[in-house]
Amino acid sequence: MFGLGYVGSVTAACLAGAGHEVWGVDVDTAKVGPITEGHSPVVEPGLDELVAAGATAGRLRATTDPRLALEQAEVSLICVGTPSTPAGSTDLTYIRRAVRDIAEAAQVVVPPASGFHSIVIRSTVPPGTVDEVVAEVLAEVPPPDGFTFGTAMCPEFLREGSGLADFYAPPFVVVGTRDARVGTALTDLFAPVYKDNNPIVDVQIVDVRTAEALKYACNAFHATKVSFANEMGRIFRHFDVDSREVMRIFVQDTSLNISPYYLKPGFAFGGSCLPKDLRSVLHLARMNDTELPLLSGALATNERSVRDVVDRVIAGPGREIALLGLSFKHATDDLRESPNVEVAERLIGKGYNLRIYDPIVNPARLVGANLRHVTSKLPHLQRVLTDDPAEALDGADIAIVSATDTAAVNALLTTPPARTIDLSGRLGAEAETLPGYEGVGW
Ligand code: NAD
């Protein structure tokens, strides 16, 4: 497993849990160290226990040395980051590096008994990456005698915060390859993972570019749903309508056959996937002189959702703010492209006084790379972070409720400030009794 972030650590632990022997490889010792000690390198419900079980059983190990991992290995899964470049395209530097690491390690290790090794991209990459980028690197460092490589794209569909549950019950398992041996290797790899699923999860073998494009289609659609729901919220707010209620009923229309996920008016989408993948699709469109007004609009609406919250704060009285929730959604410590971070930074920039409470994001609870992220990239927010919601609310004129927990909700109901702007829908019916309450779908 190359890359032990949110996707790699979940995948590694789940595969070890299914009985496979897994070596995780990461260039970052903040990821390798915890796994070696039997802990998860990221905050993900249930993952710590699964990593501990895998490490104790001796089936899950981690290293910074690709050669250790590749010794007799049959499959490499690449789960490294594919961030946006400043222009919005997908940065494939880490993909190239990981493929090269595998190819170079193959020169010196004992091959698997079959002599065949599958290199599988699990990261989200644009169509053509396996055929062009991966193939190019492998042509530069061809396998030695006794080693044959096959390649594939096998996109990952887990969501942070419910990573384990999503891994065990994916919407589909799709392998894009033109090499039947890789298809068989992955079908065998996943068989023990999904053996108890009902209905059984089938592995669909498709063209490699279909598998690459599929993940972008999924994320572009999720993002569009969020923006659609938020636009409903924005317009109907002016008519005193609770759009959450509208959308609750809307999704019952069986002719739409649409899941209620991503369709709750509330706040902007964020995190390390939807914004960057949408930007990537829009960049591919620009490069091919193709206009995508719907998807451009989904991104613009998202940015508008962040500005809306800031505008709503500014429009009313109060300078002391309690922001309840900082990560981009519940049950994760991931701060990448969090719209809550954006709101915090803009309000601080406008001279508001903030106290921030997040159930996970506080220096006492953060681990590894995310602690480093806060201390190095967000020191201005670290200074106003507290691990006590009551402290965040003490003296606040306005509470902004976002990705938060029951402790914060209880503290808010006990000592409500003059205004509460609810972006989460976590407050329940009691919220209506709060003074100056602005409901989530309004
Ligand atoms: P992440 O940033 O949390 O983890 C990536 C890891 O790769 C880092 O720990 C980094 O140190 C490591 N890495 C970089 N170069 C390496 C190399 N040469 N060898 C070994 N390790 C290396 O990223 P993530 O959130 O897990 O996402 C990984 C990929 O999966 C991305 O393409 C993302 O779009 C996709 N994806 C993410 C999610 C999600 O919810 N986070 C879901 C589905 C797909």
Which tens digits make up the pLDDT trace of 269-323?
999 999 999 999 999 999 999 999 999 999 999 999 999 999 999 999 999 999 9
Distance 8 CA to ligand 1 centre (A): 7
Q: Is 219 buried (19+), middle (13-18) or exposed (0-12) by CB count in 10 A?
A: buried
Pocket perturbation via mutation, ligand 1, pick of 10, 272, 280, 330 by most ligand atoms within 8 A of CB: 272
Q: What is the pLDDT of residues 322-375, one digit of tens each?
A: 999 999 988 888 899 999 999 999 999 999 999 999 998 876 777 677 778 888
List C-alpha distances in Å: 327 to 13, 301, 320, 340: 24, 20, 20, 7
Cβ partners under 8 Å of residue 349, min gap 6: none
Q: Are 63 and 100 in contact (CB under 8 A)?
A: no
* Sequence ranges of the chain with CATH classification 3.40.50.720: 6-206, 233-438
Burial 236-246 (b: 16+ CB within 10 A, else e): bbeeebbbbee
pLDDT for 330: 86
- Nearest atom in ligand 1 to the alpha carbon of residue 157 is 43
Distance 7 CA to ligand 1 centre (A): 6
Q: What is the pLDDT of residues 41-55, one digit of tens each?
A: 998 999 999 999 999
pLDDT for 122: 98
Q: How confident is the model at residue 114 (pLDDT cuts 50, 70, 90)?
A: very high
pLDDT for 400: 97
d(CA 26, CA 41): 11
Q: How confident is the model at residue 431 (pLDDT cuts 50, 70, 90)?
A: confident
Q: What is the mean pLDDT of residues 231-258?
A: 91
* CATH (one of 3.40.50.300, 3.40.50.2300, 3.40.50.720, 3.10.129.10) for 233-438: 3.40.50.720
Q: Is the dihedral of CA 229, 336, 405, 159 positive or negative?
A: positive
- Nearest atom in ligand 1 to the alpha carbon of residue 101 is 18
- Nearest atom in ligand 1 to the alpha carbon of residue 2 is 20
Unique residue bearing structure tokens 């008016």: 265
Round the CA-based radius of gyration of the chain to a whole number and report it.
Answer: 23
Q: Is the CB of 96 under 6 A from ligand 1?
A: no
Q: What is the largest CA-CA distance in the chain?
A: 74
**The pLDDT of residue 110 is above 70:** yes
Q: Is the CB of 9 under 6 A from ligand 1?
A: no
Q: What is the mean pLDDT of residues 112-123?
A: 98
CATH 3.40.50.720 is the classification of domain 6-206: yes
pLDDT for 288: 97
The residue whose CA is least distant from atom 14 of ligand 1 is: 80
Distance 358 CA to ligand 1 centre (A): 24
Distance 322 CA to ligand 1 centre (A): 32
- Nearest atom in ligand 1 to the alpha carbon of residue 41 is 9
Q: Is the CB of 156 under 6 A from ligand 1?
A: yes
The verdict on whether omega for the bond into residue 199 sits within 30 degrees of 0, i.e. cis, is yes
pLDDT for 267: 93
Distance 306 CA to ligand 1 centre (A): 26
The residue whose CA is least distant from atom 34 of ligand 1 is: 124
> DSSP state, 90?
B
pLDDT for 331: 85
d(CA 400, CA 142): 55
pLDDT for 108: 97
- Nearest atom in ligand 1 to the alpha carbon of residue 369 is 9
DSSP reduced 3-state for 117: strand
Give percent of the chain above pLDDT 90: 84
Known catalytic residues are 273
pLDDT for 372: 80
Determine the length of the chain.
442
pLDDT for 256: 85
Q: What is the pLDDT of residues 167-226, one digit of tens each?
A: 999 999 999 999 999 999 999 999 999 988 877 788 999 999 999 999 999 999 999 999
**The pLDDT of residue 439 is above 90:** no
d(CA 419, CA 434): 8
Q: What is the mean pLDDT of residues 234-252?
A: 92
d(CA 221, CA 223): 5
pLDDT for 97: 98
Burial 348-377 (b: 16+ CB within 10 A, else e): beeebebbbbbbbbbeeebbbbbbebbeee
Going by C-alpha positions, the residue among 155, 156, 150, 157 that lies closest to residue 177 is: 150
Please give the sequence-ordered ranges of beta strands (E in DSSP) within 256-363, or none if there are none: 320-324, 353-357
Q: Are 123 and 7 in contact (CB under 8 A)?
A: yes
Going by C-alpha positions, the residue among 135, 126, 438 that lies closest to residue 313 is: 438
Q: Are 265 and 243 in contact (CB under 8 A)?
A: yes
The residue whose CA is least distant from atom 3 of ligand 1 is: 5
Pocket perturbation via mutation, ligand 1, pick of 4, 7, 70 by most ligand atoms within 8 A of CB: 7
Q: What is the mean pLDDT of residues 101-124?
A: 98
Going by C-alpha positions, the residue among 174, 172, 159, 158 that lies closest to residue 209 is: 174
pLDDT for 406: 92
Taking the whole predicted model, whether its pTM rises above 0.90 is answered as yes
pLDDT for 145: 93
